[in-house]
Structure 1
Amino acid sequence: MVVATEVPLLLRAARGEILDRPPVWMMRQAGRYMKAYRDLRAKYPSFRERSENPDIAIEISLQPFHAFHPDGVILFSDILTPLPGVGIPFDIIESRGPIIDPPIRTQEQINQLHPLDPEASLPFIKTILRTLRQEVGNKATVLGFVGAPWTLAAYAIEGKSSKDYTVIKGMAFSEPAMLHSFLGKLADAIATYVRYQIDCGAQVVQMFDSWAGQLSPIDYETFALPYQQRVVSQVKATHPDTPLILYISGSAGILERMAQSGVDIVSLDWTVDMAEARKRLGPNVGVQGNLDPCALFGSHDFIRARMEDIVQKAGNRGHILNLGHGVLASTPEDNVRFFFETAKQMRRS
């Protein structure tokens, strides 16, 4: 029986407690690899309807919780969700991904943006998060998430997903003042959004700066890190006890810089060894990760061995077991189940 005052395991890990097993969840754990999600997607083909209709989003968020009992339940949403609230409309097309038209290319467009009022523009977030907290109770930690300023700026300036980021990098290198003004407005809006998610029930919030791994270290320090710090400092000023996680894909070269953002936990991709990451980050920064998502296409013995390697190298303080990126759409659902079951049986040596 769960005691009403018991603190969920993932939240305890995020706060740096010593634990005998790692809490576990998966990025993109609510999504296309699950038949239940695909069935719902067929009924509601619009991604924005699925993520912004509270009843649907709650059901999707809870699908992996009911199926696999992870230690974390994350809000089903998108990193672009708050953009219309500042004056940047977007759409998500199933075969093409996010589309922002017109993209942000001028100072005049940036000047026309306005502060985020989440109560007015994002009321569904409150309904979703409050309901998740009620449904999950203390059996799991409810996670919120946001996009970081650089990544949101990249989507808004490129107008879509990109392979080379030439438009935003061109702006960064030729018109840096304009980009900095945009990043500042986004950082303030994201900080407001994080605080809103916490007030609505999120117990931990993960910030995705997915595209910051495409920056050189000097450009990361110029265009990404200061705005991560701006978000974190504003959130910590009002919500100092809520753990924050930062994830960047392709981040092995900038781990130490990620720690400078002020977050409590750095989420690792699979391109860095867990023990090496621990040494580089130091004892005061927690870690999350970092199984290669493709490992879930291996045998159960292979998956278990890779998980055991990560868990033993991570140690018993401040580690959340996760993938190094989102679970892939073609992943066998039974292997996802095995991942969670195995994690629950693990004990630190």
Structure 2
Amino acid sequence: MAELKNDRFLKALMREPVDRTPIWMMRQAGRYLPEYRETRAQAGDFMSLCKNADLACEVTLQPLERYPLDAAILFSDILTIPDAMGLGLYFEQGEGPKFKQTVRSEADLSRLIQPKMDDHLGYVMNAVSTIRKELNGKVPLIGFTGSPWTLATYMIEGGSSKDFRHSKAMLYSQPELLHALLDQLADVIIDYLNAQIKAGAQAVQIFDSWGGSLSHAAYTEFSLKYMKKIIAGLTREHEGRKVPVIMFTKGGGQWLDVMADSGADALGLDWTTSLATARAQVGDKVALQGNMDPCVLYASPDKIRIEVDRILAEYGAGTGHVFNLGHGIHQFVDPAHAQAFIEAVVELSPKYHR
């Protein structure tokens, strides 16, 4: 593997000194970019794009060709695991992901496939190794997964949900069944992330997209517990350097104290939590990633720059901050506004690292 030329992202995650605050964006390879839309049309559909290593590599690199970003993130989807477990992932136009099968009983649970990484998810590892080779050391590559709770909600509901009716009904009426599903998912995710690391991922992120829908007691029992199990099972050193782990619970700002003791190296924050408050709460236990509201990118470049400056000042001097949005970039954002955002971080952040 080529020597890494830009490691400020990895250094910031480990709270080591950097020359400026590193930046990447969740969903940076996505529908807001016209070149992405062209490649996706060429692939035919979303999953065909994910399963073609060359095209997945192409879209992963597209934002890096436009912007001075400090990390690439694997182009894939969190639902690759439930799909590999036999639930039959498909996408309805305008309705998002859906599954042909759901998991709502012990019989459903018993039918789940225990996926083999090479057989069922080899296309993900092919994409990781292809992207890593093409990056040629330009920036680090991030691998990722959904959290067990987040994946379970899709598997139980059969797709996206606003109220998690079936998932929460299981949580409160059949907790032992939900625990069995979450435990199985955690084991699969450990194998999945370790395979990504072996294939070339230099950091990994756990997307707990729906953890914020839970009560405090339910979050610690049904979400955090299984993310801690995953983190404890990961390969934490590869190719002679540490492999940092980022844990991101959207809507989880109230749980920073317990999240900071999870074993993760960094916590992702959405825009509802003050960076200054978060930094004071976690101290030097973990780095922080975030946390600009993606809707700021609909504002003028001047207003975007003002918000970037405010967030940098909120975190304050020193390392341990990776600038990001508080969730994925929206598909209707003007790419020029994303450029203004990234350039503002590059220009304004060095003063905090002198």
Same fold (TM over 0.5): yes
> Which moves more between the two structures, 189-198 or 313-322?
313-322
Map of 2:138 onto structure 1? 139
Q: Is 1:101–2:100 an aligned residue pair?
A: yes
- Coordinate RMSD, CA, aligned: 1.7
**222 and 4 in structure 1: CA distance in 2 versus 1, 3 angstrom threshold:** closer
Contact 1:86 1:189 in 2 (8 A): no
Deviation at 1:78, TM superposition (A): 0.3
Residue 351 of structure 2 corresponds to residue 348 of structure 1: yes
The 5 Å alignment of 1:198-237 reads 198-236=197-235
Matches within 5 A, 1:5-154: 6=5, 8-154=7-153
Q: Which moved more, 1:275-284 or 1:189-198?
A: 275-284
Distance 1:176 1:26 in 2: 36
State the alpha-carbon separation in 2 of the partners of residues 83 and 234 from structure 1.
20
Report how far residue 5 of structure 1 moved. Answer: 5.7
Q: Aligned residue for 1:301?
A: 302
1:249 partner amino acid: K
- Report the AA paired with residue 151 of structure 2: L
TM-aligned CA deviation for residue 279 of structure 1:
1.0
2:330 aligned residue: 328
Partner residue in 2 for 1:310: 311
- In the other structure, the counterpart of 1:289 is 290
Is the Cα–Cα contact under 8 Å of residues 143 and 204 in structure 2 kept in the other structure? yes
Residue pair 1:8, 1:141 contacting (<8 A) in 2 also: yes
Partner amino acid for 1:337?
Q
Q: Give the 5 Å matches for 1:186-205.
A: 186-205=185-204
Give the fraction of aligned pairs with identical amino acids, expressed as a percent.
38
Cα pair 2:209 2:248 within 8 Å, conserved: yes
Deviation at 1:258, TM superposition (A): 2.2
1:85–1:118 contact (8 Å) kept in structure 2: no
Q: 2:4 touches 2:140 (CA, 8 Å); kept in 1?
A: no
Task: Report the 3-state secondary structure (helix = DSSP H, G, I; strand = E; otherwise coil) of the residue aligned with 2:80.
Answer: coil
Deviations 1:152-178 (Å, cap 9, x if unpaired)? 000000101000011000000000001
Structure 2 CA distance, aligned partners of 1:107 and 1:325? 34
Q: Which moved more, 1:321-330 or 1:239-248?
A: 239-248
Deviation by residue 1:52-85 (Cα, 9 ceiling, x = unmatched): 1112111111110111131111011000112233
Question: Which residue identity is paired with 1:343?
Answer: V
Aligned partner letter, 1:79: I
CA distance in 1 between counterparts of 2:87 and 2:242 reads: 31
CA contact (8 A) 1:22 1:316 kept: no
1:186-220 deviation per Cα after TM superposition (whole angstroms, max 9, x unaligned): 00000110100000010011110100100011110
Could you list the per-position Cα deviations for residues 225-251 of structure 1 after superposition, in whole angstroms to 9, with x for gaps in the alignment? 110111110115776921011112212
Preserved CA contact (<8 Å) 1:129 1:200: yes
SS at match of 2:322: strand
Q: Which runs of 5+ in 2 are unaligned?
A: none
What is the rounded CA distance, in whole Å, between the counterparts of 1:86 and 1:232 in structure 2? 21
- Asked whether the 8 Å contact 2:149–2:182 carries over to 1, the reply is yes
Q: Which runs of 4+ in 1 moved over 4 A?
A: 236-240
Cα distance in 2 for partners of 1:182, 1:233 equals: 19
Tell me how far apart the structure 2 counterparts of residues 324 and 348 of structure 1 sit (CA, whole Å): 23
How many Å apart are 1:146 and its aligned residue?
A: 0.4
- Deviation digits for residues 14-65 of structure 1, max 9, x if unmatched? 1221113111100000111111112223333411001111121111111101
Separation (CA, whole Å) in 2 of partners of 1:5 and 1:49? 30
Count of equivalent residues? 347
Per the alignment, residue 247 of structure 2 pairs with 246
Measure, in 1, the Cα distance between the counterparts of 2:221 and 2:48. 36
In the aligned structure 1, how far is the partner of 2:26 from the partner of 2:93? Answer: 19
Give the aligned residue type for 2:178: L
**3-state SS in 1 of match to 2:291:** strand
What is the Cα deviation at residue 135 of structure 1?
Answer: 1.8
SS at the partner of 1:192? Answer: helix
Query: Take 2:339 and 2:4, find their aligned partners in 1: how far apart are those partners?
Result: 28
Assess if the C-alpha contact under 8 Å between 2:102 and 2:157 holds in 1: yes
Stretch of structure 1 that moved more, 251-260 or 116-125: 251-260
The CA distance in 2 between the partners of 1:103 and 1:348, in whole Å, is 52
Q: Matches of 1:188 and 1:148 in 2, distance apart?
A: 11
Distance (whole Å) between structure 2 residues aligned to residue 140 and residue 291 of structure 1: 22
Structure 1 spans left out of the alignment, 5+ residues: none
Moved more, 62-71 or 110-119: 110-119
1:258 equivalent in structure 2: 259
* Structure 1 residue 125, shift from structure 2 partner: 1.9
Gap change, CA 1:114 and 1:238, over 3 Å in 2: farther
